[in-house]
Every structure is written in structure tokens, then in C-alpha cells.
Amino acid sequence: MLILECPYCGIMADETELTPGGEAHLKRATVGSTDDAFESYLFDRKNPKGVHFERWRHSAGCGKWFHAARSTTTLEVYGTYAAQVSEPPKELVAKIKKKCPGWEGWQ
């Protein structure tokens, strides 16, 4: 079972307490964006085999959204962090790079 630490209440939360919210750090398309930008914002996903940055909600706990970095091939969790950022924290990215030398980076 997947266990993620909620960065707000500090609880190690079971999968059953959490709701997955899909790929994180999408660039929102808005007024004036091209059709291409809208299409990729709404539908196209990286869906990587490996490191994935994603959104989760502590739905049966504090109710807040947060971020997690996780491997989709081993289910290893690299870390969780707050929702109020538009990219993953540098230390986390560095930590993942060290663990997965072949990784092409979060973008």
C-alpha cells in the first residue's frame, strides 16, 4: 500500500486516506493561449515510466492538496511537498538525480 507523508499535518497517510490528482506542475492555458496549448494542458500527459510529479489530496485527513514525487515503476516515494509552488523544490530534484542518474529531469 502506498504511504505518503502529508506535508501539512505531518501524518504518514495510507493510500485509502488520499485521493490522487494526476500530473503536477501543468502550465495552465488561458485567455489568448493557442489551441495547441489548450489541448496539451487539458489532455496530453507525460505518463512517464519512472519519476512522476503528481498532485494528491489528504481527503480523509486535513483535506489539503499537496505534491508528491514518486516512481511509477518501483512505487518508491522520493518526497512530498506543499501545493503552493509551480515547480518541485531544488533539493528534491537533486536527491532524485542522485538516485536515478539516467533521469532526464522534471520538465
- Applying CB under 8 A, which residues contact other proteins? 1-2, 15-16, 19-20, 22-23, 35, 39-40, 42-49, 52, 54, 70, 72-75
Q: Which does 69 bind (CB under 5 to 8 A by kind): other proteins, Zn ion, none?
A: none
| CA atoms in the 13 A half-sphere facing the CB of 12 | 4
Residue 96 contacts Zn ion per CB under 5 A: no
Residue 67 contacts Zn ion per CB under 5 A: no
Cα–Cα nearest to 26, from 56, 53, 66: 53
Closer CB to other proteins, residue 14 or residue 87?
14
CB-based contacts of 16: which residues, under 8 Å, 6+ apart?
1, 60
CA–CA separation, 6 vs 26, rounded Å?
21
Question: Binding to Zn ion (CB under 5 A): which residues in 6-35?
Answer: 6, 8-9
